[in-house]
Structure 1
Amino acid sequence: MMRLIALVSLLAVVACSPTTSPQAGRSLFAQNCVQCHGTDATGGDAVPDLTGLALRAGGTYPQTLVLNKLDGYARGQAAYAGVEMPQFGYLLTGPLTRVPLADGLSRELPEKIVALDAYLRSLQRGGN
């Protein structure tokens, strides 16, 4: 029970921060991602539709997978159809924040990455 209370408290702190909000993520998406994924995040022939991440993952938003792609843990791996994700090094800079994960663990990430993740989660059609 204490673990659940701590997780909810941590989620509330992260969710309240203007630097990690979906709105902050929307701005970062516009600056860094629209060139490949489009303004509506539906992708194209060589890049995935980011509005269907939860659908493709069985109805649950794949946060760990998304964070891995965004924060560089999975750099160099094919993102989709043999196309690699660009490395936006400056997104990995700046203040850090702790993010609770679905498995009950948490990890510290740059606020910019957390904001992009929050924005992508807000775009999901079907699933959570």
Structure 2
Amino acid sequence: MRYILSGLAAAVTLAACMNAEMPDASEGRAAYDANCAMCHGASGTGDGPLAGDLSVKPVNLTTLTRDNGGAFPVNRVLSYIDGYKRKAAEDVEMPEFGLLLEGPSVPIETGEGVFTPTPRPLAALLAYMESIQK
């Protein structure tokens, strides 16, 4: 019974967020400027004012799609920003922003028609990052 109720709660949550208006890149720009530009730079190329103080150069965020075979890596970006997935010791220089990017959820397609409820500020940041791809 517990599994049925948790599944029903998840379905209700997802249905509610499916009706939410999706954020656009301009909304995400504010989240980027507040949380990312100091290291990744205003243009996203990894040349922010703090970049020189870091032991590992910040990633060029404008080439994520190109470096992923032409598809924007939604899951990888979301996981990295919220701190869920870090792959090496040098990754600890990038703070986890998951707690800073909370809010009402919107549905983000995470592949193969699967939609994941995602905090709106994080979805907005994702939209902005996708918009700066070269």
Same fold flag (TM > 0.5): yes
Counterpart of 1:67 in structure 2 is 78
Aligned counterpart for 1:26 among listed residues 19, 26, 29: 29
Whether contact under 8 Å (2:83, 2:95) holds in the other structure is: no
Distance 2:129 2:107 in 1: 18
Aligned counterpart for 2:123 among listed residues 111, 114, 118: 114
Equivalent residue pairs, number: 107
Q: Secondary structure at the match of 2:116?
A: strand
Aligned counterpart for 1:90 among listed residues 97, 100, 112: 100
Deviation at 1:106, TM superposition (A): 1.3
Which structure has the bigger radius of gyration? Answer: 2
Q: For residue 22 of structure 1, what is the amino acid of its counterpart?
A: A
Whether contact under 8 Å (2:63, 2:133) holds in the other structure is: yes
Deviation at 1:72, TM superposition (A): 3.2
Counterpart of 1:101 in structure 2 is 110
The answer for unaligned runs of 5 or more in structure 2 is: 1-17, 48-55
Q: Which runs of 4+ in 1 moved over 6 A?
A: none
Distance 2:74 2:62 in 1: 13
Q: For residue 42 of structure 1, what is the amino acid of its counterpart?
A: T
Distance 1:33 1:110 in 2: 17
The answer for unaligned runs of 5 or more in structure 1 is: 1-9
TM-score of the aligned structures, taking structure 2 as reference length:
0.71
Distance 2:90 2:61 in 1: 17
Deviation at 1:117, TM superposition (A): 0.4
Counterpart of 2:133 in structure 1 is 124
Task: Work out the percentage of aligned pairs sharing the same amino acid.
Answer: 34
Range that drifts further, 33-42 or 63-72:
63-72
Question: Could you report, residue by residue, the CA deviation over 1:68-109 in whole angstroms, capped at 9, with x for unpaired residues?
Answer: 1123322x444xx82332023221x21111212222211111
TM-score of the aligned structures, taking structure 1 as reference length:
0.74
Structure 2 CA distance for partners of 1:34 and 1:24, relative to 1, 3 Å = same
